[in-house]
């Protein structure tokens, strides 16, 4: 096949000759370029999966002699986003000489430490377990990927035979074996026994392809995967309907979303029995085809094949026995129905651990499911953060694609349980987990901050995300909200937030926001009632419209948002936080402030009432009382600043200094100060406090609660 974009139907040809020409002569730069192109197409490999390498001649910094150096993706990286800092560079001769001290498969793990003695570049990322798989092959450029189309063949019962026939002997075959030094030796044996082959299929695992240049490797990789995908495409429906046909029909799109939003917080509560989890939901057509099929009950318990898949998704999913259109409004009955299913899953996972564990195996991990399938509706995934939950969903879709392909051409086979366990509880994998940064204070927490597209609300949302939470940004103004979303994406990434148009006086928009939180993250843990406005007028100038607006936004809005959030929190049954941003004016009387001040007082007492009622649910309700937060605050628009300046006999420009001078600390209060107070309440040190008021006003004696 020639390198022509139009000739690839199942993979993306992305090579830009002009860009590559700019990199000519720099093989490492071309490696990174090729890697990024391969990683950009999820049909070629999954997030974080696979690795790429190149071998170059370079000057040994110790001897000045030319030596062969292999650059390869380091441990834990992703080829789609790979940079030079993510590569490891090793002396090829030193790496290959390690076979002289290799003691056999029982001693695989000790070899990883020895890789460090082969390091060429002192800025290297830690070499991955796949390093010898590339090192023992002689080719200048090598791609090891996990394309669904290839794994479908690799995981098929007749995979070796199909590979031989499909490629006419030009692709070798190595049976499943855990990655490591011995597998590298097996790849070289395969090549020596089959000179002239263009690649090797790893049983149940993935694909190795290569070339003398970055471009040749890239094209070879695309051509092999294209051929696999085309073969699968022609095979679908030949033996019979995909997955033996549909057993049930999906609900329509709106109904699926409604059911998922209603169910997600309940599922999240069960999955968070040990650690608070973040959720992800998808009703991708590939998911629906599988979960609605006759083969679901046979294939789902088998688990996945590729190691990368089950490391992300656990050994198998939990399949819910709930009708797609079931009434989910009776939460108690729903939990009663689901509890045995979760108990059974945890027992299955614990038995899997106890049956397969070794004397030196790490302790059993969280036994809750990662993947939960709801036939007719979609797939939920739960993990420690949004990105990990989202990627788990992507990996299970990869697994579905593999099962679909393998079943179309032969019969799907999964890894034996012991092999799967030896990967999942591999001491090297455990060491990698232990090296990961410790969770932040708010990891696993979901926050909804009303009015969070600007001012105090945005500052609070930023602080919560910086401390590990995910957040539902919201505002009445769509343009302002979009800008805030783009800012958060740039600062924190797409998995840190979602958005919702929200007018806190409208119950339907509040419910929509809660549903958005449930679909995006699984529910909600932290509510910050921050949305507000202010009107400063004399009692004669105050209109009924002014009064109603203040009470609707400040008091009714706080009530409605809290009410809706409590419904979600009770579904989760893992507690929660409600923080109400009130004001010094709830406690201090001042001129021209009848509507705003009395509404703030109502907010404060409503907080106390809610705290008294919700303690039994472990839902804590606390208040932050700011004062004179002028910077980037909507409160100061619409004449409020002019009104307060007039009331105090100063100019608008003099207001910040005026407010600061009247405080005990002589400080100007900023949005970040309010954000810090919200974190102080939610960050873990005040978990046994509720019904409290924290004044963030620089010290106003008249505003002291006691």
Q: Which residues are catalytic?
A: 596
CB 127 within 8 A of CB 164: no
Phi-psi region of 372 (alpha: psi -120 to 50; beta: other; left: phi over 0): beta
Q: Alpha-carbon distance 302 to 392, whole Å?
A: 17
Q: Are 274 and 350 in contact (CB under 8 A)?
A: no
How far apart, in whole angstroms, are the C-alpha atoms of residue 662 and residue 670?
16
Q: Are 105 and 57 in contact (CB under 8 A)?
A: no
Which DSSP category does 554 fall into?
A: I
Name the token pair of 700.
């106003």
Nearest to 533 by CA among 515, 519, 545: 545
Find where tokens 């030896």 sit: 422
CA separation (Å) from 604 to 128, 558, 665? 56, 10, 24
**155 within 8 A of 402, measured Cβ to Cβ:** yes
Answer yes or no: are the C-beta atoms of 675 and 459 closer than 8 Å.
yes
H-helix or E-strand spanning residue 394: helix 386-409
Residues 6+ apart with CB under 8 A from 605: none
Q: Where are the alpha helices (DSSP H) in 246-385?
A: 253-271, 285-291, 296-299, 307-313, 331-356
Which parts of 98-147 fold into alpha helices (H)? Answer: 108-115, 131-135
Q: How many CB atoms lie within 10 A of CB 616?
A: 7
């Amino acid at each position: 096949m020639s390198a022509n974009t139009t000739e690839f139907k199942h993979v993306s040809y992305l090579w830009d000759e002009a860009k590559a020409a700019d990199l000519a002569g720099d093989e490492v730069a071309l490696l990174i370029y090729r890697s990024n192109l391969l990683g950009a197409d999820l049909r070629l490999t999954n997030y974080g999966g696979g690795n790429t390498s190149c071998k170059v001649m370079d000057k040994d910094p110790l001897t000045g002699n030319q030596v062969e150096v292999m650059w390869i993706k380091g441990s834990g990286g992703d080829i789609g986003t790979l940079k030079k800092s993510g590569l490891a560079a090793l002396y090829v001769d030193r790496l290959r000489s390690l076979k002289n001290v290799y003691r056999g498969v029982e001693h695989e793990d000790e070899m990883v430490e020895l890789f460090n003695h082969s390091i060429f570049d002192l800025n290297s990322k830690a070499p991955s377990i796949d390093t010898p798989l590339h090192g023992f092959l002689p080719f200048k450029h090598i791609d090891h990927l996990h394309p669904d189309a290839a794994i479908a063949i690799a995981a098929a019962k007749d995979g070796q035979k199909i590979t031989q026939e499909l490629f006419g002997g030009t692709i070798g075959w190595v049976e499943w074996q855990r990655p490591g030094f011995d597998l590298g030796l097996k790849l070289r044996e395969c090549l020596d026994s089959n000179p002239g082959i263009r690649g090797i299929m790893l049983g149940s695992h993935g694909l190795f392809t290569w070339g003398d240049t970055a471009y040749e490797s890239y094209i070879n990789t695309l051509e092999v995967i294209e051929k696999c995908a085309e073969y699968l495409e022609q095979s679908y429906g030949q033996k019979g309907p995909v997955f033996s046909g549909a057993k049930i029909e999906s609900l329509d799109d709106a109904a699926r979303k409604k059911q998922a939003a209603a169910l997600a917080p309940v599922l999240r509560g069960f999955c968070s029995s040990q650690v608070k989890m973040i959720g992800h939901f998808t009703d991708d057509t590939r998911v629906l085809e599988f979960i609605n099929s006759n083969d679901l009950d046979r294939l789902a318990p088998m688990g996945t094949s590729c190691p990368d898949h089950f490391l992300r998704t656990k050994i198998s999913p939990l399949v819910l026995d709930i009708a797609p259109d079931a009434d989910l409004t009776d939460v108690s009955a729903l939990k009663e129905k689901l509890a045995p299913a979760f108990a059974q899953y945890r027992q299955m996972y614990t038995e899997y651990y106890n049956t397969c564990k070794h004397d030196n195996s790490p302790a059993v991990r969280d036994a809750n499911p990662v993947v939960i399938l709801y036939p007719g509706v979609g797939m939920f995934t739960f993990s420690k953060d949004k990105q990990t939950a989202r990627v788990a969903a992507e990996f299970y879709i990869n697994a579905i694609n593999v099962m679909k392909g393998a079943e179309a051409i032969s019969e799907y086979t999964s890894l034996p349980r012991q092999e799967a366990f030896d990967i999942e509880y591999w001491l090297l994998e455990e060491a990698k987990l232990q090296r990961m940064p410790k969770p932040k204070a708010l990891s696993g927490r979901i926050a909804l901050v009303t009015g969070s597209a600007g001012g105090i609300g945005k500052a609070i949302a930023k602080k919560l995300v910086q401390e590990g939470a995910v957040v539902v940004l919201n505002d009445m103004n769509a343009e302002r909200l979009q800008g805030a979303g783009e800012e958060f994406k740039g600062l924190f990434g797409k998995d840190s937030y979602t958005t919702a148009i929200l007018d806190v006086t409208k119950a339907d928009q509040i419910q929509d926001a809660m549903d958005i939180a449930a679909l995006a993250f699984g529910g909600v843990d932290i509510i910050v009632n921050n949305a507000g406005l202010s009107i400063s007028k004399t009692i004669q100038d105050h209109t009924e419209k002014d009064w109603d607006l203040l009470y609707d936004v400040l008091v009714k809005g706080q009530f409605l948002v809290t009410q809706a959030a409590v419904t979600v929190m009770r579904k989760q049954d893992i507690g929660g936080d409600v923080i109400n941003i009130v004001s010094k004016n709830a406690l201090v009387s001042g001129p021209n402030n009848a509507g705003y001040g009395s509404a703030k007082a109502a907010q404060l007492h409503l907080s106390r009432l809610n705290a008294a009622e919700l303690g039994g649910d472990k839902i804590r309700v606390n208040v932050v009382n700011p004062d004179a937060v002028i910077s980037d605050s909507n409160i100061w628009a619409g004449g409020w600043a002019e009104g307060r300046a007039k009331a105090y006999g100063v100019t608008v420009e003099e207001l910040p200094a005026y407010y600061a001078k009247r405080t005990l600390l002589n400080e100007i209060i900023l949005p970040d100060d309010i954000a810090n107070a919200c974190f102080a309440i939610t960050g873990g040190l005040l978990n046994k406090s509720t019904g409290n008021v924290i004044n963030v006003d620089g010290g106003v004696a008249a505003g002291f609660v006691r």
